[in-house]
């Protein structure tokens, strides 16, 4: 395991502590075996989603030949050529990666960043039907379309549910 991406777990009889370390960003998530409060749920969701989105940075520098192999492996056929496609892939990947970092920052202090977390929750919830329509009309496989739509919808709903008390004020 690379030293800049470590995962520690310290267990005791009453609680567990998980500490995520990735470069300069570190945050911990505490939870009881019996209950997880809504703030802790948000920390976990934001941290895991952020880590997943940061994987997109790989595509910013990935050789095109690797992209072509992945494209065929996913059952999408031969990858088209052209500068606009490479521009979109690399810029979208960079944007996803930076959004992942922002989610890690939000996870560090969910009380302080509550308005931004609500914005992200609404954005993910709205992204579900939008991504479904985009994926469907683009001819993406059903598993891809459902993964996008359900993943975004569930994450958005969970972030908003955890902020429900603040939304009703």
Q: Looking at residue 52, what is its pLDDT?
A: 96
Residue range 129-142: average pLDDT? 96
Q: How far apart are CA 100 and CA 66, in angstroms?
A: 23
In this prediction, residue 48 has a pLDDT band, given cuts at 50, 70 and 90, of very high
In this prediction, residue 167 has a pLDDT band, given cuts at 50, 70 and 90, of low
Q: Looking at residue 165, what is its pLDDT?
A: 75
Q: How far apart are CA 113 and CA 110, in angstroms?
A: 5
Residue range 143-152: average pLDDT? 96
Q: Which residue has the higher pLDDT, 67 or 17?
A: 67
Q: Which residue has the higher pLDDT, 122 or 9?
A: 122
Q: Looking at residue 169, what is its pLDDT?
A: 63
Q: Is the pLDDT of residue 163 over 70?
A: yes
Residue range 140-150: average pLDDT? 95
Residue range 29-43: average pLDDT? 66
């Amino acid at each position: 395991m690379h030293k800049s991406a470590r995962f520690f777990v310290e267990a005791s009889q009453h609680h567990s502590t998980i500490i995520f370390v990735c470069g300069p960003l570190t945050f911990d998530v505490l939870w009881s075996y019996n209950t997880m409060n809504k703030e802790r749920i948000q920390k976990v969701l934001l941290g895991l989603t952020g880590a997943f989105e940061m994987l997109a940075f790989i595509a910013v520098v990935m050789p095109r030949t690797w992209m072509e192999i992945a494209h065929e492996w996913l059952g999408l056929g031969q990858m088209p050529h052209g500068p606009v496609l490479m521009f979109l892939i690399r810029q979208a990947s960079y944007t996803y990666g930076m959004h992942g970092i922002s989610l890690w920052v939000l996870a560090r202090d969910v009380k302080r960043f509550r308005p931004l977390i609500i914005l992200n929750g609404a954005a993910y919830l709205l992204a579900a039907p939008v991504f479904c329509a985009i994926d469907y009309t683009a001819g993406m496989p059903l598993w891809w379309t459902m993964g996008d739509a359900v993943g975004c919808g569930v994450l958005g709903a969970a972030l908003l549910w955890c902020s429900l008390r603040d939304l009703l004020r």
